[in-house]
A and B are shown apart, each in its own frame.
Chain A
Amino acid sequence: MSEIDFSFLDLVRQAVPGATIDTGDSRDMASAFVDREHLVDVCRTLRDHADLQFAFLADLTAVDRLPSSPRFEVVYQLACLGPAFGTGVARRFRLKVRLMNDDARLPTVSGIWPAADWAEREVFDLFGIDFTGHPDLRRVLLPDDWEGHPLRKDHPVQIRKDTSSWSPMQLTEAEFTANMKAAREHAARAARAIVGQRGQGD
């Protein structure tokens, strides 16, 4: 297997001078830890820098490292598509952010890669990690009334409890009646219009 190239990270270090970027050992692609204070700046550089152009966020997920501390790692899988997208070299890069258990929050990157929107919702849903500045941070896979975050290591594997997995449309009774009434009136108007046209034709 060829050596993993970490040299492009120097471009990021130059562009975002204050950021701590630690390269870890990695078997498949370049990977680095970044501090969350500079996460957004680093991400924007990764996407926009002329020699980097990581325009494709392949996936965003988290890992729970309980009992070690810091407990959480949020993982960003990035790709630069290279000649396929009219840019230089095709590259892959894995960015990670470490988070403490009592302060599991980090800024959203959904403004940089819109793909992160639902992916961050999923991490919030399953790990309970808060993405500050996310436009619509609510559960995506589990029902709204679910308690707990199942992919945390301290979440029991088997729980037996009554679930109400059916989430109703958010309508009051009055709104529902009004909606039905409007639809009926609309149908009646349409029917009258058709009858009227026929009358003219005859």
Chain B
Amino acid sequence: MATRTETLTVNMGPQHPSTHGVLRVVLELDGETVVSADPSIGFLHTGIEKTAEQKKWQQIVPLVERMDYLGPQSNSLGFCLSAERLLGIEDAIPERVQYIRVLIAELQRLSSHLVWFATHAMDIGAVSVMMWAFREREQLLNINEMVAGFRMFPSYFRIGGLREDLPRGYKEVVKAFLEKMPGKIDEYESMLTKNQIWIKRTKEIGYLTKEQTLALGLAGPMLRAVGVPYDVRKTFPYSKYETFEFDVPTRTEGDVFARYQVRMDEMRQSVRIGLQALERISPSGAYDCGDYRIVPPPKDRVYTEMEALIQHFLIYSQGFNVPKGDAYVPIEGPRGEQGFYLVSDGTNRPVRVKSRPPSFYAIQALAPMVVNGLIADVVAVIGSTDIVLGDADR
């Protein structure tokens, strides 16, 4: 009897733990080799952009934090910066606020990279790594809780500044954490970087060239792993990043292992930036731009002065008008260039709120990375892109 060969179609996901959310990939297999891959997304589409069009400007901050749920404060930072640019108040934001924002954005990057590291290693089979990384992430969530009483989505950044001042004892806790962190990163690396199993599972798979990576719209660690030192913090600085000392780690191999190394080095740089920011944050001072048409007056004045009470009431009932126009201020999120394109028609509600979703573009690039590879490598490649489906689907 003649042997008949045909390709096999395998439906990976949408409920597969290594798809980091709900991603479905329809794989066509010839034996163990992937012939074609068709990612299918949208399972977490919640219409946040449509909802945001119905809300007043300051009500959108908690909404955008729920897009990329592993880097919520990067989303709200991008949104606030774009909105502040539209309002024309970006020069009125005090330095102290900018430094606090930098500190929190870097803690957020650490937190997001820790979850990426934990799940990526777990996908490939290193389960104990996950326990170690989540131990430190738990402390970062506690730090979030200190600042806002909310662990995952603090909504601490507001258009025009911060919600309130840092709590007492915050800087000491963060300092202790950041000083301990480089040793912890060394510990993580001692488990994986020279581990033969890890190297064999990650080296020379999921390869993309420099030109491909850029053409597919991938920025951040994916682009730095092919040797392009593009970092929004350096190229298009925001929030006074130009005054901080840090390096942009790059690798040239462009495979899963290179992306792992880039992100591990980035965590070290985040610690470095965080410690510099801590030193610069003065113990007391302004925590918003002081323009009471946009930010509510402090509570002690609201409770004692009639004008402040009226202003507080106006901001929370009518909101504020944002001048006509559009703006897009890119920031360096944990997953690459992130930002919000905002369009205003001069009223208290936006016409359009569009997030630039790094995960969306990373999923698009999945097919060129896994085709002609082995099915066992698909999981490793998905992990290396560090996708968050909430960010891709919005």
Contact = CB atoms under 8 A, between A and B. Distances in A.
Interface of B: 4, 6, 8-9, 11, 26, 41-42, 45, 47, 49-51, 54, 82, 85-86, 88, 90-91, 214-217, 219, 228-231, 234-236, 325-330, 337, 339, 341, 343, 351-352, 354, 356, 360-361, 363-364, 393-394
B26 A28 contact: no
Interface string A51-86: 000011111010111000000000101010110110
Contacts of B361: 115, 118
Given A84-B235, A94-B326, A141-B394, 18 more contacts: A26-B325, A27-B325, A28-B329, A56-B214, A59-B217, A59-B341, A59-B356, A75-B341, A81-B228, A81-B230, A82-B235, A85-B214, A92-B330, A115-B215, A115-B216, A139-B42, A141-B393, A182-B4
A118 B359 CA distance: 12
Contact of B54 (A81, A157, A179): A157
Specify which of A59, A81, A82 lies most central, judged by the most chain B CB atoms within 10 Å of its CB. A59
A140 interface: yes
Contact of B11 (A92, A155, A169): A169
A179 B9 contact: yes
15 contacts: A1-B91, A26-B326, A31-B326, A55-B215, A58-B330, A59-B217, A59-B354, A63-B351, A81-B214, A85-B228, A90-B235, A113-B215, A118-B360, A119-B217, A139-B42
A157 B330 CA distance: 29
Given A28-B85, A151-B50, A77 B235 contact: no
B49 A151 contact: yes
A9 interface: no
Contacts of B217: 56-59, 113-115, 119
A143 B363 CA distance: 18
B45 A179 contact: no
Contacts of A57: 217
A140 B24 CA distance: 12
Interface of A: 1, 25-29, 31, 55-59, 61, 63-65, 75, 77, 79, 81-82, 84-85, 90, 92, 94, 113-115, 117-119, 122, 139-143, 150-151, 155, 157, 169, 179, 182-183
Query: What secondary structure prevails in chain B residues at the interface with A?
Result: mixed
Contacts, number: 118
A150 B341 contact: no
Contacts of B236: 90, 92
Contacts of A113: 215, 217
A31 B327 CA distance: 10
Contacts of B216: 114-115
Specify which of A58, A85, A113, A139 lies most central, judged by the most chain B CB atoms within 10 Å of its CB. A58
A61 B82 CA distance: 16
A141 B42 contact: yes
Nearest to B354: A61
A85 B26 CA distance: 34
Given A115-B361, A183-B8, A61 B230 contact: no
A84 B356 CA distance: 21
B214 A27 contact: no
Nearest to B38: A136
